[in-house]
Amino acid sequence: DIQMTQSPSSLSASVGDRVTITCRASEAIVTYLNWYQSKPGQAPKLLIYSASTLQSAVPSRFSGSGSGTDFTLTITSLQPDDFATYYCQQSYDSPRITFGGGTKVEIK
């Protein structure tokens, strides 16, 4: 299976900060990379699909980039609602899809 490695595993940031989360695939996955936001007790939320396409109704402060093995999720100005855990997921090797280990964004 393709391994997805996220970094950092956690970070502390302040409201208004620019935040960057990295996801690396163990082999090339073109742009079959998706990002989700997860909060305790809530349904996870799709943010970005196909590496850089913003899901409908997701704020434009979220953006995704990358191709091949290296991908980035950027939040340009962190808002209080953005404190959550973020996961990447590869859909290249379907149905053997896999997720990253998650990045927890906490309040500094």
Q: Which of 55, 63, 65, 72 binds other proteins (CB under 8 A)?
A: 55
Stretch that binds other proteins, among 16-24, 35-43, 61-69, 73-81 (CB under 8 A): 35-43
Q: Which is nearer to other proteins, 17 or 22 (CB)?
A: 22
Planar angle of CA 6, 19, 72, nearest 5 degrees: 45
Q: Which of 14, 16, 81, 95 binds other proteins (CB under 8 A)?
A: 95
Q: Does 49 bind other proteins (CB under 8 A)?
A: yes
State both tokens at 56.
Answer: 């409908």
Q: Which of 19, 36, 62, 82 binds other proteins (CB under 8 A)?
A: 36
Strand pairing report for 33-38 and 62-67? unpaired
Distance between CA atoms of residues 3 and 18, nearest Å: 27
Report helix, strand or coil for 90: strand
Residue that the structure tokens 């999720």 belong to: 73
Give the footprint of other proteins on this chain (CB under 8 A).
32, 34, 36, 41-46, 49, 55, 87, 89, 91, 94-102
